[in-house]
Amino acid sequence: MLFFRKKNIETILPADLLAFMATDIHSHLLPGIDDGVPDAATSLHFIDQLQQLGIKKIITTPHIMMDRYPNSTDTMTGPYQEVVTALKQKDIRVDFSYAAEYYLDEQFIPLLQKPLLTLSGNLVLVEISFMSAPMQLGQWLFDLQAAGYQPVMAHPERYSYYHKDMEQYQQLKQQGCLLQVNLLSLVGYYGKHVQQAAEKLMSAGLIDLIGTDLHHEKHLKAITDIARNTKLRRILETYSFRNNTL
């Protein structure tokens, strides 16, 4: 069991709260390289909490956004090894690896000249602008697939410009994308409109994968709020997510 304290009130969380996921494919747990955890101690804390909530495998996904987070294997290897060493020292036994969350823009295409960091096999996690749909998105997705990859679109429910037309989500699927919903969206962390979009996508059976997109303590607190939402837990536990295949 897990114990969290808030205002001196002890809350007991079920150890299988996130067991339906098996594998968390979206988080930011490599220290000091993007807007995720600042240090290895925080990484260890979050990994330990996720494991205690039922997660068996974590594929963490630092941003690769060339004008803000120009990460690569070179920048990730050191922080990753630091976390792995700390996990061993604390005897926290969890399958922990890293891929990346690639931001699709003009600076992404040159990255295809070298192997990309994949979630598993040829699956590549990608995101796009929150402001407006990129005009070149279709071409970028085509280029990805021509290079042998299958794009996994991160948190499509957060792209508000798609909310009025669900057919655009269908189009993403037709363009070869798998769709990954954020667990935080389903608990209302990003607001009601995003939550409603996530619920519609799941009701339509368009979601393939789910991830925590965990960055910081507020995210973890919002995730643990699922324990009080019996209806959402039932939906999550019966939906056919593909996470356990990775």
Which amino acid appears at position 238 of this protein? T
> Residue 122 pLDDT > 60, yes or no?
yes
> Residue 7 pLDDT > 50, yes or no?
no
- Rounded CA-CA distance 65/35 in Å is 11
Question: What pTM was computed for the model?
Answer: 0.93
Q: Please choose, from the candidates 147, 148, 166, the residue with its C-alpha nearest in 3D space to the C-alpha of residue 157.
A: 166
- Matching residue, tokens 């997510």: 241
How do strand 57-60 and strand 95-98 relate by DSSP bridges? Answer: parallel
Residue pLDDT, tens place only, 213-222: 999 999 999 9
Mean per-residue pLDDT of the chain: 94
Please report, for residues 42, 66, 93, 125, the alpha-carbon distance to residue 180 in angstroms, rounded to integers and kept in the order given.
Answer: 25, 22, 26, 9
Query: Could you give the domains of the chain?
Result: 21-245 (3.20.20.140)
Beta bridge partners of 60: 98
- Rounded CA-CA distance 46/62 in Å is 15
Rg (CA), the chain: 18
Residue pLDDT, tens place only, 34-89: 999 999 999 999 999 999 999 999 999 999 999 999 999 999 999 999 999 999 99
